[in-house]
Structure 1
Amino acid sequence: MNRTGLRFTLRLIPFLDSVEGFEDGLVKLGDRRWLAWHPDVVSALFRNDRALSHPPSRTLSPLLGNRSVLWLDGAEHAAYRRTLTPLLRGNRYQALVDDVVERAIAELPSDPVGLAAWTRTLTLRIIGRIVFGVDDDELLAAFTRWLDRRLGSRVRTLAHRYLARGTTRFDPHLDRMLLHRARTAEPPALAACLPEEDLRDQVVSLLFAGHETTASATAWTLYWIDRTPGLAEELTDEALLDATIAESLRLSPPATLAGNRMSGEGMVITPSIYLAHRRAATYADPHVFDPGRAQPPPGAFFPFGGGVRRCPGKDLALLEIRTIVTALLRHRHVRLSSADCTPQLRGAAMAPPPSVAMVATCRR
C-alpha cells in the first residue's frame, strides 16, 4: 500500500476532502487500485458492471459473511437479487412503516436523544419487522451491540479490520437467535426461499444494509432541515420534500463509496459517491445545501450505488425517510443541538456524530 492508499484507509473523510479538487476525478491508491468520481468513468463502470467482478469489503465481509449477496457475482448474484428484491419493495410496507414510526415518535422523551442513534434504532425496527414478521427489541439490541463493538468508532473499525485479519467476527449466540427468529417468522419470507447454509449471511446482510444507511440518510435530512430556516414549515409540499431528501443524499451521502469493481486483469476501481456529489465541475457551489438544484447528469448522483449493485432497497429507504421526516415534523417541534457535525464513519458509511442530539417537543 502506498502513502496515498494509507491515508485513504486511515483518515477517509480528510483524504477525500484533500483530493476533491482533482479535475480528472481519479486518484491512484495502489499499484492496481484507483478511486474514481468523474461522471464519465462512473457511468462507464455501471454500464459494464456485469462484465466486472466485485471484491468483498475487507471491513464488512468478516461481519456479513462470504456468502452475503453483497459479494456474490454472476448468475448466483442475479438469482439472489430476484429472490430478495420483492421482499424490499417499498409500496408493500407503508402501513408497517407508519405503525413503527408513530410508536417511535410517541416514545420520544422530552430530554435530548442522539439523532443518529435514534434513527438507527427506528430503521432497524422496521427491517426487523420485515425480515422476522414481529417486533423483537431484545434481539435487535443484541445485534446493535455486536455491530457497535466493531464499527462504533473509526478506531474500532480499523482494529476489527487489521488486528484479526482472515477470521470472521461472528457471534455464535447472536447467530443462533437470528436464525431461530428467521425460521419461525410468519410468513417465513427468507427461510422458505434461501439455502439453509446461506441463511445466516443473508439475514445479517439484510439487517445491516436495510437499516444503517437509511438511518444515516434520515439523520442527515433532519440535520439539513434544522440548518435551513423556514424549510420545515414548507415540507408539506411533497415535491419539495423529495428535493430536500435528494439534496441531503447529495451533500451528505450515507455511503461514501460504492463498492469495488475489478477487471479481468485485476485492476480495481472504487467509485466515490462522496466526491462525485461534491464535484465543482458538476455542481455549482457544491458545499451549499440547495434543494432547488437541477437534475444532475448521469454518473454524478448515485447515493444508492449503481450497475448490478444498485441498492434493491432504494424505494423502501426513500419511503422510510419520507415517512419519518413527515411524521416527526407533524407531531413535534424538532431542534438539534451541537454546532459540530464532523461526520462519524461506521465502515464506509457516514452519519452525524453522537454529539448531535435531537430535542423533540410536542406540538400543541
Structure 2
Amino acid sequence: MNRTELRFALHLIGFLDSVEGFEDGMVKLRDRRWLVWHPDVMAALFRHDRDLRHPPSRTLSPLLGNRSVLWLDGEEHAKYRRTLAPMLRGTRYQALIDEMVERSIAELPSGPVGLAEWTRRLTLRITGRILFGVDDEELLAAFTRWLDRRLGSRVRTLAHRYLTPGTTRFDPELDRMLLHRAETAEPPALAAFLPPEDLRDQVVSLLFAGHETTASATAWTVYWIDRTPGLAQDLLGDADLLEATIRESLRLSPPATLAGNRMSADGMVITPSIYLAHRRAATYDHPHTFDPTRSPPPPGAFFPFGGGVRHCLGKDLALTEIRTIVTALLRHRRIHLNTQRSCTPQLRGAAMAPPPSLAMVATCRR
C-alpha cells in the first residue's frame, strides 16, 4: 500500500478534502485504481455500469456476507433487485412509518439525546418492522451491539478491516435470531422468496443498508435546519422547501462518502466519490454553503444514493422516512442542537454520520 492509498484508508475525510480542488476530478490511488468524481466521468460510468464488475467491500463484505445483493453481478443481481424492489416502496409503509415516528418522538427525553443515535434507533425499528412484521427490541439491540463493535468508531473499523483480513465477522447467535424472525415473519417478507442459503446475507444487508444511511441523512438534515436561522419555521407546511432542504443536506453531507467500486474487464478499479462530486467548485457555486435554493445540478454531479445498476433500492423508502421524521419533529418539538460552527463527521465504514457528541434537545411546542 503506497502513501496515497494509506492516507485514503486511514484518514478518508481529510484525504478527500485535500484533493477537492483537483479540476480533472480524479486521483490515482495506486496502480490501476482511481478515485473519480468529475460529473462527465460519473455519468459515463453509470451509463455503462452493466458492463462492469462490482467487487465486494473489504470493510462490509465480512459483515454482510459474500452473497449480499450488494456484491452480486449480472442476471443474479438483477433478479434479486426485482425480488426486493416491491418491498421497499415508501408509500407502502407510510402508515407504519407515521406510527413509529410519532411513538419515538413521544418517547424523547426532556434532556439531551444523541441525534445520530436517536435516528439510528428509529430507522432500525422501522426496518425491523418491515422485514419481520413485529417489534423485537432485543434482536435489534443485539444487532446494534454487533455492528457498533465493528463500525462504531474509525479505530474499530480499521482494526476490523486490516488486522484479520479475509475472515467473516458473523455472530452465530445473532444470525440464529435473525433467521428465526425472517422465517416466522407474517406476512413473509423474505423467507418465501429467497433461497435458504442466501437468507442470512440478505437479511443482514437489508437491516444495515435499510437504516444506517437513512439515519445519517435524517440527522444531517436536522443539523442543517438547526444551523439555518428561520428555516425550521419556514418548513412548516412547505413541502417544496422541505424537498429542497433534504436534497441540499444530501449534497453537502451525503450519508455515504463513496459509491462502491467498479472494475473493468482488464482489472482497472474505479471508486466514485459522492463526497467530492457534491463539493466540486466547478459544478456548485460556493459548494460549502448550505443553500436549498440551488438549481438542479448536471447529470453525474449529484448521486447521494449511488448510480447505475447499483443505485440504492431503498431510495424511495429512505426519502419517505426522512420527510416523515423531519416533519413530525418540527411539528411537535422545538429542536436545539449543542453544536458550534463546525461538526466533525464520524465515519462508520464509508458512511458519514454526525458525531456522537452532537446532542439534540427537543422541547414540546406550546
Q: Could you say which TM-score interval applies, normalised by the shorter chain?
A: over 0.9
Give aligned pairs, total.
Answer: 364
**Shift of residue 189 of structure 1?**
1.2
SS at match of 1:212: helix
CA distance in 1, matches of 2:102, 2:186: 23
**Shift of residue 338 of structure 1?**
2.6
Kindly indicate whether residue 183 of structure 2 is the aligned counterpart of residue 183 of structure 1. yes
What corresponds to 2:263 in structure 1? 262
Letter in 1 for 2:350: A
CA distance in 2, matches of 1:198, 1:304: 24
SS at match of 1:93: helix
Q: Deviations over 1:279-317 (max 9, x none)?
A: 000000000000000000000000000000000110100
What corresponds to 1:124 in structure 2? 124
What corresponds to 2:61 in structure 1? 61
What corresponds to 2:334 in structure 1? 333
Kindly indicate whether residue 35 of structure 2 is the aligned counterpart of residue 28 of structure 1. no
Kindly indicate whether residue 172 of structure 2 is the aligned counterpart of residue 172 of structure 1. yes
What corresponds to 2:105 in structure 1? 105
Matches within 5 A, 1:65-84: 65-84=65-84
**Shift of residue 2 of structure 1?**
1.6
CA distance in 2, matches of 1:92, 1:188: 15
Q: Any stretches of 5+ residues in structure 2 without a counterpart?
A: none
CA distance in 2, matches of 1:337, 1:140: 28
Letter in 1 for 2:287: P
CA distance in 2, matches of 1:287, 1:338: 18
SS at match of 1:345: strand
Letter in 2 for 1:96: L
What corresponds to 1:227 in structure 2? 227
Letter in 2 for 1:356: L
Matches within 5 A, 1:178-327: 178-235=178-235, 236-327=237-328
Matches within 5 A, 1:88-103: 88-103=88-103
Q: Deviations over 1:28-59 (max 9, x none)?
A: 00111000000011011100000000000000
Q: Deviations over 1:225-277 (max 9, x none)?
A: 00000000011200000000000000000000000000000000000000000
RMSD after superposition: 0.5
Ranges of 4+ aligned residues in structure 1 off by more than 4 Å: none
Kindly indicate whether residue 344 of structure 2 is the aligned counterpart of residue 342 of structure 1. yes
Letter in 2 for 1:323: T
CA distance in 1, matches of 2:165, 2:4: 21
What corresponds to 2:354 in structure 1? 352
TM-score of the two chains, using structure 2 as the length reference: 0.99
CA distance in 2, matches of 1:82, 1:3: 42
Letter in 1 for 2:62: P
SS at match of 1:210: helix
Percent identical across equivalent pairs?
A: 84
Letter in 1 for 2:354: P
Q: Any stretches of 5+ residues in structure 1 without a counterpart?
A: none
Q: Which moved more, 1:318-327 or 1:332-341?
A: 332-341
SS at match of 1:28: strand
CA distance in 1, matches of 2:306, 2:69: 15
What corresponds to 2:8 in structure 1? 8
CA distance in 1, matches of 2:186, 2:30: 48
Matches within 5 A, 1:36-47: 36-47=36-47
Letter in 2 for 1:54: H
Letter in 2 for 1:334: I
Letter in 2 for 1:348: A
Q: Deviations over 1:71-121 (max 9, x none)?
A: 000000000000011110111010000000000000000010000000000
CA distance in 2, matches of 1:136, 1:99: 16
